[in-house]
Amino acid sequence: MRIATFNINGIRAAQRRGFEEWLRARAPDVVALQEVRAPAAAIPAGVFGDHHLTYEQGTVPGRNGVAILTRHPPRAVRSWSGTVLLRQPGGDHLDTVDLDTVDLDPVPLARGLREFADQGRYVEVELADAPITVASLYLPKGGLPAHLQKPGRMREAPDGGARYHRKMRFLEAYARQLTRARRAARAQGRELLLMGDLNIAHTRHDVRNWRRSNQVEGYLPEERAWFDSILSPRTLVDVVRHHHPGIDGPYSWWSWLGRSFTDDVGWRIDYHLATPALARASVCAGTDRDPAADRRISDHAPVVVDYDLAALESGSARRRTVDLDDNLF
């Protein structure tokens, strides 16, 4: 099963730049999208080919918006707002549904997430054709703490650390929500795959100019420490890093400015984070870097992983056998 995550930086702009051609050529079975940036009625008809669309658009005009494309209708869907858009392949009809109609046991929000619930940052589906729960996340970009803000050296006006504190509130709350989601998936005999734009470069191998980035949002020590806290061999595994240990990149974001893309001065901020059994079932992983700067679909590149479902099911069978044996004693 081929699964991708892609921050498309606006579906209408991405369509003009070749998104549909990428989707047809790579033929992923599942795609997590971030920054769809379109009201439901403005999503181009047919842009997602033969995929089913699950879309949480949020209420921030022209910003955010997360989606998941699947080959089959999802078994269940969840979003923080409690509503979601569902669209059939090739359809131009819009069905915005209350999640109670498709998922009878939604997971309640962790403390601190309510302020983000309507921003179009998270949607989750249970795949119908694999024992996997897939989530698409667009984590806030954030900003610098007040003591690092220096007027004249920032693209944005100093805000006294407001964007920084908003991101840190999100990280604290989402860590709790992520634990709930992982445990809920496990209780149903499912693996969890969290994908998306996390707006954090985890290690020095994930940002080209790491020495100069220690005081840049997205690479602050406290952000990287948070990332450390959600990964472990027993909870979640960074699948791409598992396949590419100890090397710089593969990066997934480059600025539109200057020669960042041409010179590969990038950041790796788009991830597949999988529960251990699913991570072990991954066969290959990497980014679909555009062939040239003037042919970029987005400022992000798709991150694509192939998973061997037969290996996953075999591993699940072995775990069930171990669990039964443990119960005998």
Q: What is the pLDDT of residues 189-199, one digit of tens each?
A: 999 999 999 99
Distances (CA, A) of 99 to 76, 94, 123, 182: 9, 15, 11, 20
How far apart, in whole angstroms, are the C-alpha atoms of residue 279 and residue 127? Answer: 17
Residue of 80, 21, 4 whose CA lies nearest to 288: 4
**pLDDT-flagged residues of the chain (< 50):** 104-105, 317, 320-329
> 85 has which bridge partners?
55, 96
Neighbours of 245 (CB within 10 A): 8
Domains identified in the chain and CATH numbers? 2-328 (3.60.10.10)
pLDDT of residue 329: 25
Quick check: 56 and 84 in contact, CB under 8 A? Answer: yes
Quick check: 125 and 74 in contact, CB under 8 A? Answer: yes
Beta strands, E only, the chain: 2-7, 30-34, 52-56, 66-70, 76-79, 83-87, 95-98, 122-126, 132-138, 191-197, 237-238, 270-274, 282-287, 303-307
CA 109, 114, 119, 123: dihedral to nearest 10 degrees? 0
pLDDT of residue 327: 33
Distances (CA, A) of 92 to 54, 89, 158: 14, 9, 43
Distances (CA, A) of 273 to 11, 49, 153, 223, 298: 24, 26, 34, 16, 22
Backbone phi, psi, residue 306, to 5°: -100, 130
pLDDT of residue 212: 87
3-state SS, residue 89? coil
Q: Give per-residue pLDDT as tens, 258-288.
A: 999 999 999 999 999 999 999 999 999 999 9
Specify the residue for token string 């707006």. 199
**Tokens standing for 260?**
């960042």
